[in-house]
Amino acid sequence: MTTPSTPIRLYRHPLSGHAHRVELMLSLLGLPVERIDVDLKAGAHKRPEFLARNPFGQVPVIEDGDVTLADSNAILVYLAGRYDEAGRWLPRDPVAAARVQRWLSVAAGPLASGPASARLVMVFGAALDHERCKGVAAQLFAVLDRHLADSAFLAGDGPTIADVALYSYTAHAPEGGVALDAYPNIRTWLARVEALPGFVPMQRSAVPAAA
Ligand SMILES: N[C@@H](CCC(=O)N[C@@H](CS)C(=O)NCC(=O)O)C(=O)O
């Protein structure tokens, strides 16, 4: 496997699931990383030096040599394409690649507006409609649980960046008041991801979590 000559810089926040998905991918690929915590509370992500890296003013961002990239899913695509020569994490076959992309869209869609947003309300006090977020989460998790009844990982028998993209906010959904008790297949899949060599957990937040 190719490795970068210097550690990949990751601009992140320890409680950001979007940043954790990148941290998890870096670790699963065994890549060296330099973590730089961005003080979101102090507005560091809206200052000119950070906006030069990501005009949307959001973590995560990576710098890998002369490549600067924002957006967690874009970063996963980059890391898999650049460092996983076997094409295990992002298959090159068009149908298999499309199956992975489908879940990246879910990660940017209902995962973000459902469980991730419900957690934003509970952990960061975001002014969002918590009941609506929980409703989106319930619909998503029902579909996900049914899908995982027949599939060990999201896009087939082996792990891909689809699993990495969905893991963090699903595992931490209880912090947003979304319990996972009703979804046995999701819980089994989470454990499968956690058993992968190189898995690193995301920091738990201080709020009392639903089971
Ligand atoms: N589409 C982006 C979303 C990233 C995102 O929402 N980051 C949050 C932290 S989890 C953030 O930086 N929020 C600060 C803000 O939007 O002002 C990605 O996938 O990286």
What order of strands is seen across the sheet that includes strand 61-64?
A: 33-37, 8-12, 61-64, 67-70
Q: Residue 118's CB: how many other CB atoms inside 10 A? A: 29
- pLDDT value at position 209? 61
DSSP 113-159: IIIIHHHHHHHH---S-HHHHHHHHHHHHHHHHHHHTS-SBTTBSS-
> 22 with 76: CB under 8 angstroms?
yes
Residue 137 C-alpha to ligand 1 middle, in angstroms?
Answer: 18
Residue 132: C-alpha distances to residues 28, 103, 151, 186 (Å): 34, 21, 29, 21
Q: What is the rounded (10 degree) CA torsion for 134, 179, 203, 140? A: -50
Residue 162 C-alpha to ligand 1 middle, in angstroms?
Answer: 18
Distance between CA atoms of residues 19 and 12, nearest Å: 5
Residues framing ligand 1 (Cβ under 6 A): 13, 16, 18, 40, 45, 57-60, 71-73
In terms of DSSP bridges, do strands 8-12 and 33-37 run parallel, antiparallel, or are they unpaired?
parallel
- Atom 13 of ligand 1, residue of closest alpha carbon: 58
- pLDDT value at position 206? 80
Distance between CA atoms of residues 121 and 100, nearest Å: 29
Q: Please, what is the angle between helix 161-171 and helix 130-148, to 10°?
A: 130
Q: Is the bond into 60 cis (omega within 30 degrees of 0)?
A: yes
Residue 165 C-alpha to ligand 1 middle, in angstroms?
Answer: 14
Residue 188 C-alpha to ligand 1 middle, in angstroms?
Answer: 28
Burial class (CB in 10 A: 0-12, 13-18, 19+), 107: buried
Residue 5 C-alpha to ligand 1 middle, in angstroms?
Answer: 28
If DSSP codes are grouped into helix, strand and coil, which group holds residue 70? strand
Write out residues in the chain with pLDDT < 70, as ranges: 1, 207-211
Distance between CA atoms of residues 84 and 1, nearest Å: 6
Q: Which of 59, 128, 168 to mutate to test the pocket of ligand 1 (most atoms within 8 A of CB)?
A: 59
Residue 146: C-alpha distances to residues 59, 96, 149, 184 (Å): 32, 20, 5, 10
